[in-house]
Amino acid sequence: MASLTASTVALALMMASAASVQAAIPLWGQCGVRVLAILERLFASPELTVNTSMIGTANESRSVSGTATSGGSIATTSKPPPATTSVASSGSGLAEKFVAHGKVYFGVAADQNTLTNGCVANLIPKDFNCITPENSMKWDAIEPSQNTFNFGGADYVVNFAMSKGALIRGHTLVWHSQLPSWVTMISNPSTLTSVINNHINTLAGRYKGKIYAWDVVNEIFNENGSFRSSVFYNLLGQSFVTIAFNAAHTADPTAKLYINDYNLDSVNAKAQAVVTLVNNLKAAGVPVHGIGTQAHLSAGGAGGVQAALTFLASAGTDVAITELDIAGAAAVDYVTVVRACLNTPACIGITVWGCSDKDSWRAAYTPLLYDSQCKPKAAYYAILAIL
């Protein structure tokens, strides 16, 4: 147990309550909704100061020719990172204390632009032992045109994480959003199957043995539990899920493979659809190892998380909170989520969707554990107090 007293916890909760955002806001989907992010950044804090001295020389966006798996060109800024066989908690703060409770990681989303900021870079060894690339492994960043791959941003994140002894969650292999137009325009099922296999084999294969877990499919359900309309579902039906998981397992047999979605914060129709699908996939021998619940929460919206995690765990896989941020960052809300994971044996880790509010896709709602000046909030201390 932490040495902080009960009065410390109470003080932290009161501080956060006074500062929290009280207005109700909608539930949030995936962090890549760029229009919303741009609007919110109009209200965010001033631009961050870049300091590369903490990391070394930052990779530039220059491209060099190479050979892709299927014969296309690879635009890249570095060689693939070397394999690693051991990962330890990389800090004396949240990560170390969370792992001491039998969990695997307390992680953070980041990309090269935030990792080259001295403040954020310093937080990762201290509080986070797992990094999820926020955007640099998404399809539009990796393969903007067919068979032309750009690994510069992804390589940077992987190299940085490995230099800190941190785990890496790959995000994401198949998603309807941030998808290049050349993919959405495919009209032949066989062509799309080949494209999915090639994309996953190239991306997951590049980092074989280096990624702890992949979000293989992301946001594939509507709120009522039906499959979302996308080029993948419209051409292949739900078989695209099996195709993607099998391809990911072939490319990297040691990686944990997840289905990831938002609004899984209560036992609702979408959560039921996810559990049903995972059970069916497992029965068919498809390698699925985990369910990711994003947990982009409104203020006061954490009340259903415990029941939701328990229900998701009934699928018999690992469960992870993959993109946590909470409008207003009230200590009571963050503590509720962390306690829910601690109380759920299948919940192996939590990832917060950014370090500092100024770098959040929901910056106007100050949803993270560190403020725009990179100072820890009351919610941060409240979490420490319960670990």
| Residues annotated catalytic, as ranges | 219, 323
**284 three-state secondary structure:** coil
CA distances from 105 to 80, 100, 379 (A): 24, 10, 18
Q: What angle do CA 274, 275, 278 make, to 5 degrees?
A: 85
Contact 377, 16 (CB under 8 A): yes
What amino acid is encoded at 363 in this protein?
A
Provide the 8-state DSSP code for 48: P
Contact 208, 168 (CB under 8 A): no
Within 10 Å of residue 331's Cβ, how many Cβ atoms? 29
**Which two structure tokens, joined as six digits, stand for 196?**
């999915």
Element (H, E) at 190: helix 189-206
Contact 230, 238 (CB under 8 A): no
Q: What angle do CA 59, 61, 63 make, to 5 degrees?
A: 105
Provide the 8-state DSSP code for 303: T
Find the largest Cα–Cα distance for the chain: 63
What amino acid is encoded at 367 in this protein?
P
Q: What is the dihedral of CA 194, 217, 276, 263, to 10 degrees?
A: -150
Within 10 Å of residue 222's Cβ, how many Cβ atoms? 13
Contact 258, 348 (CB under 8 A): no
User: Do you know the residue count of the chain?
Assistant: 387
Contact 203, 248 (CB under 8 A): no
Q: Residues 231, 135, 349, 243: is their CA dihedral positive or negative?
A: positive
